[in-house]
Amino acid sequence: MRGPHNILRLIRTGATLERTGAMGLIMDAFEAPPLLRGTMRFLAWPFQWLGYKGDPASPPAPRALTALGPAYIKFGQILSTRPDLVGEELATQLRILQDKLPPFPVDVAKRSVAQELGQPVEALFDEFSAPVAAASIAQVHKARLRSDGSDVAVKILRPGIERAFRRDIDAFYFAARMIETLAPGARRLRPTDVIAHFEGVVTGELDLRLEASSASEFAANTGGDTGFKLPSVQWHLSSRRVMTMGWADGVPLGDNAALDAAGHDRADLGERVLQLFLSHALRDGYFHADMHQGNLKVAANGDIIAYDFGIMGHIDEYTRRVYAEILYGFIKRDYRRVAEVHFEAGYVPADRDVDAFARALRAVGEPIFGMDASKISMGSLLSYLFEVTERFGMETRTELILLQRTMVVVEGVARSLNPQINIWQVARPVVEDYIKQTIGPRAALRDLGRLAAVLSRYGPRLPGLVEAAIIRQSAPPQPAQRPVWPARLAWAGLGVLAGMGGMLFLMFAA
């Protein structure tokens, strides 16, 4: 029975925030109303003794989240990219969580490498440094290969990280179920599904073989992207708990002073980060889903280098088109079309008023245009969007959670480089290009060609499928009658082929 354990865990969360001084800082950052502020402080104060003390040398917020565990650290990493939401002071504190966490000892790392790769570190590397970066799940060492003398990055999972993560996720599940039970109005947000999605994503980070595979696929997709590169995977030196990649030399994207000193154009970098993300998400349907400053560098020639591929996002082609049409509608200020796309995709129940939804979307979108981007209150905008979705019965789309979260992170990175950036103006050329490529007569013909190629594989079997379906339909029904999907597939295939032939005839006749 995990209930009592999780209740204690959640109480300890509030107690830790209060004990470390992070509670008041977080309440201030989110401008919590006095009633909520007083209630939280009143409930947490008596249990301070249950809270973790954390590292007194760290600022309050990272001190609390680091003490609470890896899942809380991940949450803090997301907030560190949004100074417009949490304020510059708290965002600066939370940035420590990206790659400056307390490391585990080098001798422990060397033992892990030897166990995983089957050889001692000295047999594989001429040099093996102290940790150069320590994050929530793993830490990185710089090493030099004995075989060819090239520099590499060796990523090693933290000892016991799987058990620590499981403990946090159990508490999150418990909280989600309590919310669904005590606040029925919140069920439309599907908090349990959200936690399950989050669990699946981060569980992938706990197997570095999957991360190596993701890096390889991402490199294949983005090989032609100008101004963007990735370190190569050293497969023979990678396993479940250890991954070795080429070393990435460059200036951290979060160090504005160093970027300025190196002569890099921060405004251009901000635009490029945002456009690269959108291009990967829309063009490839496969994107780096953890693009915070700690995972990005700028090479001497200005190329953006991405690394840490533990969290990657994937969206199917249909969802990409829906997402692009929604973005494009906002960019064009065509709120009616944005509303229609929501209804067509099933995001809003069909019995709701499309015109009323379009007017609500206009109230969301209009403040964005004609205004200095630095003056837009993203907190107010998100608050109003929540009210709109609740009013029109929208449910949380779990397949879009990672895309939406990454968009928030990337926007925060872009704004940290250039506070005046206008995300809509920067996004417009990428979205317009995708729309031209995927929506229109040429795209329709390409889709029909793909469909014909699939149906052609069933061509030799279609007559037999049709005959068998007719025989089954004419026979008396049996208690254990088999499904008739082959017949439906056959008739659907014939219908599609006939429709395609008609379309081609009309095109050539014209």
Are 425 and 277 members of one domain?
A: yes
pLDDT at 222: 94
- Helix ranges restricted to H, 30-120: 34-44, 60-68, 70-79, 83-86, 88-94, 96-99, 106-117
* Total structural domains within the chain: 4
- Mapped onto helix, strand or coil, the DSSP state of residue 131 is strand
Closest CA to 245 of 275, 198, 211, 287: 211
Are 428 and 469 members of one domain?
A: no
Q: Is residue 503 part of a domain?
A: yes
Catalytic sites, residue numbers: 290
Positive or negative, the Cα torsion across 306, 312, 318, 323?
Answer: negative
Are 460 and 413 members of one domain?
A: no
Inform me whether the pLDDT recorded for 10 exceeds 90: no
Are 259 and 287 members of one domain?
A: yes
Contact 419, 407 (CB under 8 A): no
Are 409 and 264 members of one domain?
A: yes
In sequence order, what are the residues at sequence separation of 6 or more whose Cβ sits closer than 8 angstroms to the Cβ of residue 445? Answer: none
Closest CA to 18 of 2, 39, 3: 39
Q: Tell me the C-alpha distance between 423 and 271, whole Å.
A: 8
More reliable by pLDDT, 489 or 348 = 348
Single residue among 99, 116, 131 that ends a domain in this structure = 99
Six-digit token string for 73: 């650290």
pLDDT at 305: 95
Six-digit token string for 270: 């901000």
Q: Give residue for tokens 């590292």.
A: 55
Mean pLDDT of 56-82: 79
Contact 187, 180 (CB under 8 A): yes
Sheet containing 304-306, strands listed edge to edge, beginning at the edge strand earlier in sequence: 228-229, 304-306, 296-298, 251-252
Are 502 and 385 members of one domain?
A: no
70-79 and 191-205 are packed helices; what angle lies between their axes, rounded to 10 degrees?
100
Q: Is residue 290 part of a domain?
A: yes
Are 52 and 167 members of one domain?
A: no
Pairing, β 304-306 against β 228-229? parallel
In tens, the pLDDT along 371-409 reads: 665 555 444 555 565 567 667 877 666 566 677 778 878
Please give the DSSP secondary-structure letter assigned to residue 100.
B
pLDDT at 37: 67
Mean pLDDT of 222-247: 94
pLDDT at 275: 93
- Mapped onto helix, strand or coil, the DSSP state of residue 228 is strand
Are 356 and 479 members of one domain?
A: no
In tens, the pLDDT along 444-479 reads: 676 677 667 766 666 677 677 777 777 776 666 555
- Mapped onto helix, strand or coil, the DSSP state of residue 357 is helix
What pTM, to 2 d.p., does this model score? 0.70
Q: Is residue 342 part of a domain?
A: yes
Are 268 and 293 members of one domain?
A: yes
Q: Which residues pair with 247 in a beta bridge?
A: none
Contact 80, 295 (CB under 8 A): no
- The percent of the chain in helix, strand and coil, each rounded to the nearest 5, is 65, 10, 25
pLDDT at 319: 85
Q: Is residue 143 part of a domain?
A: no
pLDDT at 493: 46
Inform me whether the pLDDT recorded for 129 exceeds 80: yes
Are 456 and 426 members of one domain?
A: no
pLDDT at 381: 56
Phi, psi of 306 (to 5 degrees): -110, 145
Q: Tell me the C-alpha distance between 502 and 498, whole Å.
A: 6
Closest CA to 192 of 212, 167, 207, 175: 175
DSSP string, 232-272: PB-GGG--SSEEEEE---SEETT-HHHHHHTT--HHHHHHH
Contact 298, 264 (CB under 8 A): yes
Inform me whether the pLDDT recorded for 214 exceeds 70: yes
Q: Is residue 481 part of a domain?
A: yes
Are 373 and 468 members of one domain?
A: no
Please give the DSSP secondary-structure letter assigned to residue 439.
S
Choice among 252-256, 366-370, 378-382, 494-498 with the minimum mean pLDDT:
494-498
pLDDT band at 3 (very low <50, low <70, confident <90, very high): low
Q: Is residue 221 part of a domain?
A: no
Q: Is residue 134 part of a domain?
A: no
> In whole numbers, what is the pLDDT of the chain averaged over residues?
79
Q: Tell me the C-alpha distance between 55 and 137, whole Å.
A: 18
Inform me whether the pLDDT recorded for 128 exceeds 70: yes
Are 430 and 502 members of one domain?
A: no
Q: Tell me the C-alpha distance between 256 and 95, whole Å.
A: 13
Q: Tell me the C-alpha distance between 430 and 283, whole Å.
A: 9
In tens, the pLDDT along 324-366 reads: 888 788 778 898 998 898 888 888 888 889 999 899 888 877 8
Q: Is residue 421 part of a domain?
A: yes
In tens, the pLDDT along 174-213 reads: 877 776 776 665 565 567 876 777 677 777 788 999 999 9
pLDDT at 435: 82
Q: Tell me the C-alpha distance between 291 and 413, whole Å.
A: 8
Domain that holds residue 431: 249-439
Inform me whether the pLDDT recorded for 496 exceeds 60: no
What amino acid occupies position 135?
Answer: A
In tens, the pLDDT along 131-159 reads: 998 888 899 999 999 999 999 999 999 99
Single residue among 99, 131, 149 that ends a domain in this structure = 99
With 0-12 CB in 10 A as exposed, 13-18 as middle and 19+ as buried, what is 490? buried
Closest CA to 98 of 310, 293, 313, 308: 293
